[in-house]
Amino acid sequence: MSAHAGTIDHHHDHTTTTGIPNKKLFMWAFLASDCMFFGALISTHVIYRLHPTPEGADPTKLFSIELTSFSTFILLMSSLLMALAVGASQKGKVEATRKMLLGTIFFGLIFLGCQVYEFTHFVHKGLTLKSDMFGSTFYTLTGTHGVHVAIGVLWLVLMYIRTFKPTDAGKAWVTRAVVQFMAFAVAVVSIMFVMLAVTHAGAEHGYTLSSVVHALQHDAITSGAALAFAVSTVLLFTLGRSTWAVDFGEANAIDVEGMGLYWHFVDIVWIVIFTVVYLLEYL
């Protein structure tokens, strides 16, 4: 059955009894299960906030509502880009799909970066997993959500790489895919090191161009990370340009849609967490 034989109806799969594609049904059932998962975790957090220990931390003194609002906004925007990626894949537009996937990855990474920054900041202030009850529940709940985001980003990266599969794929494609993946991995890890050094320098000496440059030259690890970041980004950019025919089109839209469902779900869980964990503390 060739894709040339008519466009695919993305709303009806005639090979299944209900017309719902199997992968879509699977994902919705999984998300129903994940509701119970996060429900139990959020319950634990709220229960322990209703029974605070006398010497426990005061979250409002730790929270930076500006940062969290920013990261919430970022995640919402990433949801938009994901929806657009699904739309693009359903129209068989590979280039647009790639751009939107890349955008979603980028925003997802920014969200994760904000979380890492927030966690580091809290740890500096003395809130750890062990320090008190709030630490235990807060880090476990938001950390689990963060792991879900990270898994989503990993999935998105793999899907992005998948869009480059040539129609006559062979060993060369596998090598290229591995290189592309490693480039992503190196880029993510190196930017983390760079951001950490930059934010530390900024916190101490203020955020100016000279202090940033100074931070990057400060030690071998940071300089190396900056270099690695530059190299891997250039590599990704080069590998991201392709003009050959690819084995990716409307038929693969169901996979992008499934991934989209997961990503949106992670977003709506964050909507709940933002309200329950952050906003409600201010009351």
Partner 1 sequence: MSSTVSETTQEHAHADDGKFHLFVQIAMILAVITGVEIVLIYLPIVKWLVVSMLVLLSLVKFLLVIFWFMHLKFDKLFCTILFFIGLVLAGGTVAALLAIFSPHDSVPLSAQAIYAERAAAAK
Partner 2 sequence: MATATLKSANYTAPHATKPASRPWFFTRPAAKTGLVSWLTTVDHKKIGLLYGVTALFFFLVGGVEALMIRVQLAVPNNTFISHQVYNELFTMHATTMIFLAVMPLSAAFFNYMMPLQIGARDVAFPRLNGFAFWVFLVGAIVLNVGWFTRAGAPDVGWFGYAPLTSVAYSSQFAGDSSTDLWVMGLQILGVSSVIGSLNFIVTIINMRAPGLTMMRLPVFTWMTLFTAFLIILSFPAITIALVELMMDRSFGTSFFEVARGGMPILWQHLFWIFGHPEVYILILPAMGIISEILPTFSRKPLFGYPIVVFSGAVIGFLGFGVWSHHMFTTGLGTMATAAFSLATMAIAVPTGVKIFNWVGTLWGGQISTRTPMMFALGFIWMFMMGGFSGVMHSAAPADAQQQDSYFVVAHFHYVLIGGSIFALLGGIHFWFPLVFGRIVSEFWGKLSFWIIFVGFNVTFFPMHFLGLNGMPRRTAVYDGNMGWNSGNLTATIGAFILAIGIGTYFTVIVYTYLKGKKATGDIWDARTLEWSVPTTPPPEHNFHITPTVHARDAYWYEKTHAKEIAAEKAKHAQDEESHGGIHMPSQSWFPILTATGLLIGGLFFTHHHFLGAIAGGCAMLLGIIGWAFEGPGGYHLHIAKDGTVTGGEGQDEAHH
End-to-end CA gap in the chain: 60
Site for partner 1 in 79-138 (CB under 8 A): 79-80, 82-84, 87, 91
Number of other CB atoms surrounding residue 12 within 10 Å: 11
| Per-position DSSP letters for 171-203, written without gaps between them | HHHHHHHHHHHHHHHHHHHHHHHHHHHHHHHHH
Spatial separation of the C-alpha atoms in residues 167 and 169, rounded to whole Å: 6
CA atoms within 13 Å, Cβ hemisphere of 262 = 24
Q: Does 261 bind partner 1 (CB under 8 A)?
A: yes
- Count CA within 13 A, CB hemisphere, residue 115: 24
Check binding of 25 to partner 1 (CB under 8 A): yes
Q: Residue 241 touches which of partner 2, partner 1, none (CB < 5 to 8 A by kind)?
A: none
Residue 6 interacting entry, from partner 2, partner 1, none, C-beta within 5 to 8 Å by type: none
Question: Residue by residue, what is the 3-state secondary structure of 94-148?
Answer: HHHHHHHHHHHHHHHHHHHHHHHHHHHHHHHCCCCCCCCHHHHHHHHHHHHHHHH
CB-nearer residue toward partner 1: 46 or 102:
46
Q: Is 47 in the site for partner 2 (CB under 8 A)?
A: yes
Q: Which of 97, 137, 180, 232 binds partner 2 (CB under 8 A)?
A: 137
**Residue 110's binding partner out of partner 1, partner 2, none, with CB under 5 to 8 Å set by partner kind:** none
Instruction: Establish if 242 lies at the interface with partner 2 (CB under 8 A).
Output: no
- Three-state secondary structure call for residue 11: coil
Q: Which of 8, 23, 35, 116 binds partner 1 (CB under 8 A)?
A: 35
**Contact stretch for partner 2 (CB under 8 A) within 45-53, 110-118, 228-236, 270-278:** 45-53
32 binds partner 1 (CB under 8 A): yes
**Is residue 168 involved in binding partner 2 (CB under 8 A)?**
yes
Which of these, 49, 70, 51, 71, lies nearest to 60 by C-alpha position?
Answer: 49
Interaction between residue 36 and partner 1 (CB under 8 A): yes
Least distance to partner 2 from the beta carbon of 83, Å? Answer: 22
User: Which of the stretches 13-21, 100-108, 213-221, 274-282 binds partner 2 when contact is defined by CB under 8 A?
Assistant: 13-21
The interface region with partner 2, picked from 12-20, 97-105, 219-227, 273-281 by CB under 8 A, is 12-20
State how far the Cα of 7 lies from the Cα of 247, in Å rounded to an integer. Answer: 16
What count of other Cβ atoms lies within 10 Å of the Cβ of residue 51?
Answer: 8
Binding footprint of partner 1 on the chain (CB under 8 A): 11, 18-20, 24-25, 28-29, 31-36, 38-40, 42-43, 46-47, 50-51, 65, 69, 72-73, 76-77, 79-80, 82-84, 87, 91, 257, 260-261, 264-265, 267-268, 271-272, 274-275, 279-280, 282-283
